[in-house]
Structure 1
Amino acid sequence: MAQEKLGAGDATDYLAISFSSNDYVVHLYGASSLETEDNLIRLDKTLADLFKHIDNSVGLDNTLIVLSADHGVPEAAPTLNTLGFRQPFYFNKGNLLTETLMNKLKSQFGLGEDVIKLYAQPYIYLDHELIAEKKVSLSDVQKLIAQEVMKVEGVAAAVTSEDIANNRVADSRVNQLIRNNYHPLRSGDVYMVFGPRTYINDMDGLTIASTHGSPWRYDTHVPIIFAGNKLEAKTVTRPVTPYDIAPTLSGYLNVSTPSGATGDMLEEVVKH
């Protein structure tokens, strides 16, 4: 702030900070762990020091503070188990390749396990060249795999990219989120959704306690806090999203909204 003389000129200055340690700590130890509690206490002290410095140098009355995150987080499965929830567990991705699936791939299409190139959350990627060599339908292979993995305990949904691309999926909240994720050049062949609070506890080779990336409410519920600069205290209970921050700041400053922005202006902030 001192080096860039933030807040010292006539124009509005924008400072963005990511407190990323919270993400790693919760991944490794879980939302209810003592490590997470300790980290949040330290983060609270860090924010207090930052706001004190801003108040002394610029003045908090001249500052709009925005706090948010990029996703939610589930409790660690063992924690939920101790509370009486029996469904959540750590999923072993090896369970996806059932004997029945392998037998059907062989008998119906002449394909072996090598047709499955990769599982990268949330997609199963297939070897398209191998499928073409066998002169079988990619859509049929995708459909068979989706049908079979749906029978595996812990899998809540499996949707093929062919069905997504051709709008052959039911109109539901979860399916809409799946459609939003689809990219014709990068997406895999079968999109998988595990059951609530069930997930693979591996992240880049690390054994973790918790992870995000699901369409369930605990992952998509992300708070947004606007504070300072004469804003009145108010609670908004309708659905909002972190995508709303950029349009809201644009309206607040009376400048053009970024071309890639997809959210809406929050009138409670813009028309304060």
Structure 2
Amino acid sequence: MDESGLQNFLKRLRSGKANYMGWSGLSDPMLVGYIARAGYDAVLLDQQHGFHDTASCISCISEAALTGTPIIVRVSVNDFAQAARMLDCGAAGVVAPMINSAADARRFVSHVKYPPLGQRSFGPGRAMQLSSATDDQVFVQSANGNTLAIAMCETREALDVLDEILNVPGLDGVLVGPADLSLALCSGIMDPNGSAVRNATLDVARRSRAKGKIACAFAGTVERSRELVRDGFQLVSVEYDEKVIADAFAKVLNEAKQV
């Protein structure tokens, strides 16, 4: 993607300002293009629970690059090699689920950051094309600062050692997963908007920002996204593509029937 677009996004994130992220589970590049053109600050492609794979992510990254919109990819659990591959393909960041310890975070970082922070293997051909980079050495020197390594905080174990996770060099931030967090905190009950999750989420934002890390969160509704921004989160999703499309079709049909 255009280097200035990426730098503006990273600057806004690190300044503490609110940024809004589209959440894509459907693997159609045109749909991701619509999300990007709607004005979102970034779009997340979901490989863990969505329908994205390597091929769809490559296409979607290229489509979003036309609008200067950064792409973040959530990979499957422990698929750190895929995380590095997505950065090679031009993603601006990667999200790793189920990071429950500092050791997990260090292993994640080792795959997605170049030395001295990690041991990422060099081969960012597509990323360099999209950023118009031509000098390998210049690219390597800026890559660690220009790519985001984000760990998901979604278990009681992660909450218990969150400060240790946040202290891992090279980890840029954490993303709260409210559904899994509710299962963990509420004895298997799905209650992502309950008080236990809300209190834990607020604590994650406070502790992340205190460590100088980026606080990110999934919001299933517009109302919840507003609350998360007020709580101090810097990167917040606003619903997700499947729900937005389903709601839009239902709304149109209901309006048509009002004759």
TM bucket normalised to smaller: under 0.3
Q: Which one has more relative contact order, counting CA pairs under 8 Å at least 6 apart?
A: 1
Bigger Rg, structure 1 or 2? 1
Tell me the TM-score normalized by structure 1.
0.25
TM-score (norm. length: structure 2): 0.26
